[in-house]
């Protein structure tokens, strides 16, 4: 699942609202270290439960890439009390839905279901935290599934293979340079003992945050959390080492040639600040990049696609919800064959011209309001609040800071955005990629 700017949902553009909290979330912590967040929304008798583990592929040992994602698959194999696919079958039977996803920094499991089944769902989620029943046979069967998934998502997709190579160069020292799904040869060598060791070490309550959103009652959640999750034993807490990548002092270009490529694509990946580093600077950068490069209404698209007709598409976006450094992804599809070094110069020159001319106050205000109003339609959902809050907390953003983001967003100035874009333009930590046949 792609996660982009979900943290900024539910912000109302009204001065009467800016003094209020966005989610009005309540939280507490069990004695075993499990954090619990409750977001009450009584508009429909539906609940979303998300259990966020504060680790993803980043905790994997060297040589064992893909283990966190592998474990995510195996969490659906059942326990002694709820064997095989009992959990999934039960959710389907009551008309609910479920899924899970692994990122570099977190692993999350979610269910959406009728409110009257809250206790049962919490019981089953708590049970699989520590009581999975795995065999060497089902581990080997699932490994084949994952290898096929890697083939479909990466091995058979030249663009994905290029992205994978570019990230490995952009983040030479950090786990962000290692694919979440894992390297093929390392997945093949993962075994039953690797899985069991990983499960017992990391799937503990003090590595997790439980978020419940929808038609729930805070006191009832507190009671049920203690009843089902409170009995789980505390383990050794996870401590992330601070890993910093070196500056990229050389110009790096990665080329991917494949006979199935029908359209040449230019890509450029940057290392930039994250929301954890600075909420204000990241907000300014994201708003600025939306004006500059997001979608067909962006300035780059208008100038280089509609007016000059150099490209059939051009754009970029920011991924800043990360524990470490964030990323910016740029791409362009030329209308005719152009040397890829020239594409980079065309785009850089265009950005320089835009920054020299300056972004108009009107354009800035429109984009800032759009940035806020686009989120209003998502307010009534039950899953999105759990997604936004859980992701933010798991990567290290404090709940109080998240609740007051509406104030921070409205206080972003045009000068903030201009400064962020100029800093971005001077950023030399990037890798350029070329996809062609």
What is the predicted pLDDT for the residue at 167? 97
Select which of 20, 29, 60, 72 is catalytic.
72
pTM for the structure as a whole: 0.92
pLDDT above 50 for 13: no
Q: Give the chain's mean pLDDT.
A: 92
Average pLDDT over residues 267-296: 95
- CA-nearest of 412, 290, 292 to 347 is 292
* SS (HEC) of 197-216: HHHHHHCCHHHEEEEEEECC
Whether residue 403 lies in the annotated active site: no
What is the predicted pLDDT for the residue at 15? 42
- Cβ atoms of residues 170 and 430 within 8 Å: yes
pLDDT above 50 for 28: yes
In degrees and rounded to multiples of 5, residue 60 shows phi and psi of -70, 145
Question: Considering the chain, what percentage of its residues have pLDDT values greater than 90?
Answer: 82
Between CA 36 and CA 33 the distance in angstroms is 10
Average pLDDT over residues 280-309: 96
313: enclosing H helix or E strand? strand 311-319
pLDDT above 80 for 295: yes
What is the predicted pLDDT for the residue at 20? 66
Name the least confident of 4-13, 79-88, 172-181: 4-13
Looking at per-residue pLDDT, the higher value among 338 and 200 belongs to 200
Domains of the chain plus CATH, in order, are 6-228 (3.30.830.10), 253-436 (3.30.830.10)
What is the predicted pLDDT for the residue at 11? 38
Residue 405: band (very low, low, confident or very high) from pLDDT cuts 50, 70, 90? confident
Residue 289 corresponds to which tokens in the numbers above? 């990049």
């Amino acid at each position: 699942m792609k996660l982009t700017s979900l943290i900024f949902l539910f912000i109302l553009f009204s001065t009467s609202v800016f003094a209020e909290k966005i989610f009005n979330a309540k939280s507490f912590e069990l004695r075993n270290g499990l954090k619990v967040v409750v977001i009450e929304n009584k508009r429909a008798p539906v609940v979303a439960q998300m259990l966020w583990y504060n680790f993803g592929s980043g905790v994997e040992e060297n040589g064992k890439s893909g283990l966190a994602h592998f474990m995510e698959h195996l969490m659906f194999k059942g326990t002694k009390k709820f064997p095989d696919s009992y959990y999934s079958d039960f959710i389907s039977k009551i008309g609910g839905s479920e899924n899970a996803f692994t990122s570099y920094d977190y692993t999350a499991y979610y269910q959406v279901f009728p409110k009257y089944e809250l206790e049962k769902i919490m019981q089953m989620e708590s049970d699989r935290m520590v009581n999975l029943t795995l065999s060497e046979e089902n581990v080997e069967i699932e490994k084949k599934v994952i290898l096929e998934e890697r083939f479909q998502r990466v091995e058979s997709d030249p663009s994905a293979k290029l992205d994978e190579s570019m990230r490995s160069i952009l983040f030479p020292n950090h786990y962000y340079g290692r694919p979440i799904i894992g390297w093929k040869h390392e997945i093949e060598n993962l075994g039953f003992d690797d899985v069991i060791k990983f499960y017992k070490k990391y799937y503990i309550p003090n590595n997790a945050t439980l978020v419940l959103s929808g038609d729930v009652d805070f006191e009832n959640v507190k009671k049920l959390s203690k009843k089902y999750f409170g009995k789980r034993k505390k383990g050794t807490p996870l401590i992330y080492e601070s890993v910093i990548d070196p500056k990229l002092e050389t110009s790096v270009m990665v080329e991917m040639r494949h006979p199935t490529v029908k359209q040449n694509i230019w890509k450029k990946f940057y290392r930039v600040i994250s929301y954890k580093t600075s909420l204000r600077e990241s907000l300014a950068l994201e708003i600025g990049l939306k004006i500059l490069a997001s979608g067909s209404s962006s300035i780059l698209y208008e100038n280089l696609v509609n007016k000059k007709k150099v490209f059939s598409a051009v754009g970029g976006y920011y991924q800043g919800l990360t524990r470490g450094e964030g990323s910016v992804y740029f791409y362009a599809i030329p209308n005719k064959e152009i040397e890829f070094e020239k594409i980079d110069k065309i785009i850089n020159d265009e950005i320089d011209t835009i920054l020299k001319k300056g972004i108009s106050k009107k354009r800035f205000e429109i984009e800032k309001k759009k940035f806020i109003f686009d989120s209003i339609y998502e307010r009534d959902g039950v899953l999105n609040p759990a997604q936004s809050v859980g992701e933010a907390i798991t990567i290290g953003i404090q709940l109080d800071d998240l609740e007051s983001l509406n104030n921070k967003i409205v206080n972003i100035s045009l000068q903030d955005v201009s400064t962020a874009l100029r800093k971005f333009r001077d950023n030399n930590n990037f890798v350029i990629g070329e996809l062609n046949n």
